[in-house]
């Protein structure tokens, strides 16, 4: 949750007043002329005030402040956790399950005295988080839309196994909107379309489970869904219980046709979250309100473990207003890293990797394309992994899959970055010209870094590894190229490289103690052969965009 502290007086009266109004502090941007020294008058803190961990597993919580050097500390930490002042994070592990509370303190200083303003955090340590990772799977909307059926589900489940997707970690098969009958059953329970599911929904779910996969379903927090089917508002318990009877493992819960205010949104999501928790089945709750009301600040309190942070992604590098291309995804996702972690996944939406302009709604609202170059698809996949976003494929699995696409979506080293047990999203380090720099801490002490070129020309540059805060203290590095699956080698300081237009470099850095001050000269560049800039496109379909909001 974002916490702000403004117009701070250093007097005792000022501190007491601030403490009295902490719960109602409003969002505020730091003024341009505010001091940036440790004696601050205006600060913003960004962090999650509700976090999760598995017993005995590594835990990390990072805190962002504006200004960056605002003095902070963590106190009252449970046994096993420590405050890393240099990296401004809490780290360690807690062995005993339970609920713990500690404080992140903003330190107010002047020449005479100092005071601490505490912001409480609740940590839940539970064995159910032992296998908590960003969801990986396939979702139907982009290429299937209203044609979802028992037949489509079965063929997709078969192909997820045949293509090796299940073995790569894609375990969820999620159906989106328009699985519904025209109306509910007489007793109010949800009813599947009998023409699409002649043997009932449970039969389809059982088939998915028989293939070693999990099943996800869709609904909406209003009277009707985005596409006009019946929604779950007022029927939350009824629907949750029916989903449990069907054997559903995940609910994607949309927010079309619902009130705009944040308080009502949080209430509607919490009502469904509580219904799922009391259903008798462990059903993962996926909040899909498009980031408008900042669900990363309140989603976990509503029972969610993942939440959409943008409007619907489109199969393009750049979207039109209302459409989210890769460029818009970067801008909307890059600063959300303080809100991610175990059981807290910032979702950048389903990926368009593999669609190549042949989708339905994914082709709408595109300023470029529809369709992207392979470098652009690689960028999308790489950044989703860096952000610890759920990895949801959305192309037609029943069509031929190119070896290039298969290699991309089953890249074990990128997937390992996404699925790392710390679940920490990449921190946006800086933008220099057309280059965006990201870094991500990994559970074994390694650091993943990414450099994305949003410009139209290849960029030749020296990659200075010391510029990344997480590498502080590393004397030398072993560098692995996670896109090309090759070793760069042993490096001290940095190396010369290049990144093509709209491409992304991803390196995994390990501390190399053995080489000390040895520098490997004339490092071989780890780049694929230059590919043509021409996009793979097909004429857009006549299908209307899915999301109609009033």
d(CA 360, CA 351): 14
> Which entry of 254, 347, 420, 427 is annotated as an active-site residue?
254
Cis peptide before 370 (omega within 30 of 0): yes
**Cβ atoms of residues 429 and 437 within 8 Å:** yes
- For 78-136, the three-class secondary structure string (H helix, E strand, C coil) is CCCEEEECCCCEEEECCCCCEEEEEEEEEEEECCCCEEEEEEEEEEEECHHHCCCCCCE
Token readout for 23 is: 């719960």
- Alpha carbon distance 523, 487 (integer Å): 10
**CA-closest candidate to residue 326, choices 436, 176, 460, 458:** 436
Cα–Cα distance between 353 and 401 in angstroms, integer?
11
d(CA 245, CA 280): 9
For the chain, the distance separating the N- and C-terminal CA atoms, rounded to the nearest angstrom, is 28
Q: In terms of Cα–Cα distance, which of 132, 110, 125 is closest to 50?
A: 125
The CB-based long-range contact list for 27-36 (8 Å cut-off, 24+ gap) reads 27/2, 28/4, 30/66, 30/67, 34/67, 35/67, 36/67, 36/68, 36/69
Secondary structure (3-state) at 75: strand
DSSP class of 425: P
Whether 288 contacts 547, CB under 8 Å = no
Write down the catalytic residue from 177, 193, 312, 347: 312
Burial of 266 from C-beta contacts in 10 A (0-12 / 13-18 / 19+) = buried
Do you know the residue count of the chain? 550
Looking at the chain, the number of H-run helices and the number of E-run strands are 12, 26
Strands 494-499 and 250-254: unpaired
Q: How far apart are the C-alpha atoms of 272 and 296, rounded to whole Å?
A: 17
SS3 category, 445 = coil
Look up 405 and say whether it is catalytic: no
- Residue 347 among the catalytic residues: no
3-state SS class at 502: coil
Residues serving a catalytic function are 254, 312
């Amino acid at each position: 949750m974002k916490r702000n502290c403004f117009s701070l007086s250093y007097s005792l009266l000022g501190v007491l007043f601030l403490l009295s109004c902490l719960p109602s502090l409003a969002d505020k941007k730091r003024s341009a002329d505010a001091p940036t020294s440790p004696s601050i008058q205006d600060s913003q803190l960004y962090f999650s005030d509700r976090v999760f961990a598995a017993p005995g597993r590594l835990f990390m919580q990072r805190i962002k402040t504006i200004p960056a050097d605002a003095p902070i500390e963590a106190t009252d930490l449970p046994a096993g956790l420590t405050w890393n002042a240099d990296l401004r994070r809490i780290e360690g592990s807690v062995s005993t399950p339970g609920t713990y509370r500690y404080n992140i303190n903003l330190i107010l200083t002047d020449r005479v005295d100092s005071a601490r303003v505490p912001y409480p955090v609740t940590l839940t340590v539970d064995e159910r988080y032992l296998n908590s990772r960003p969801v990986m799977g396939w979702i139907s909307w982009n290429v299937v839309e209203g044609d979802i059926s028992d037949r489509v589900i079965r063929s997709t489940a078969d192909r997820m196994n045949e293509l090796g997707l299940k073995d790569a970690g894609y375990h969820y098969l999620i159906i989106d909107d328009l699985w519904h009958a025209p109306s509910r059953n007489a007793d109010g329970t949800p009813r599947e379309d009998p023409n699409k599911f002649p043997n009932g929904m449970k039969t389809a779910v059982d088939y998915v489970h028989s293939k070693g996969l999990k099943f996800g379903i869709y609904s909406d927090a209003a009277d009707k869904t985005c596409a006009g089917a019946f929604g779950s508002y007022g029927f939350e318990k009824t629907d949750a219980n029916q989903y449990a009877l069907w054997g559903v493992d995940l609910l994607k819960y949309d927010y079309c046709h619902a009130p705009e205010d944040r308080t009502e949104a949080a209430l509607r999501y919490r009502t469904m979250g509580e219904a799922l928790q009391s259903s008798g089945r462990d059903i993962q709750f996926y909040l899909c309100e498009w980031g408008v009301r900042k669900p990363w600040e309140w989603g976990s309190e509503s029972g969610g473990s993942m939440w959409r942070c943008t409007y619907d992604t489109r199969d393009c590098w750049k979207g039109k207003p209302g459409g989210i291309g890769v460029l818009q995804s970067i801008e909307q996702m890059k600063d959300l890293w303080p809100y991610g972690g175990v059981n807290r996944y910032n979702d950048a939406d389903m990926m368009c990797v593999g669609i190549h302009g042949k989708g339905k709604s994914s082709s709408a609202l595109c300023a470029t394309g529809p369709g992207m170059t392979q470098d652009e698809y690689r960028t999308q996949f790489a950044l989703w992994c860096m952000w610890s976003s759920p990895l949801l494929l959305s192309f037609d699995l029943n069509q031929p899959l190119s070896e290039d696409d298969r290699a991309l979506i089953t890249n074990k080293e990128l997937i390992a970055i996404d699925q790392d047990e710390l679940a920490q999203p990449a921190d946006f380090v800086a933008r220099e010209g057309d280059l965006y720099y990201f870094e991500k801490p990994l559970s074994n002490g390694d650091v993943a870094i990414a450099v994305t070129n949003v410009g139209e020309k290849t960029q030749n540059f020296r990659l200075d590894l010391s510029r990344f805060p997480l590498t502080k203290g590393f004397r030398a590095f072993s560098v692995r190229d996670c896109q090309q699956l090759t070793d760069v080698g042993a490096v001290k300081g940095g190396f010369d490289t290049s990144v093509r237009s709209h491409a992304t470099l991803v390196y995994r850095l390990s501390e190399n103690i053995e080489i000390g001050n040895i520098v490997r000269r004339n490092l071989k560049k780890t780049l694929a052969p230059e590919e043509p800039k021409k996009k793979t496109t097909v004429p857009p379909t006549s299908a209307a965009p899915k999301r109609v909001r009033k």
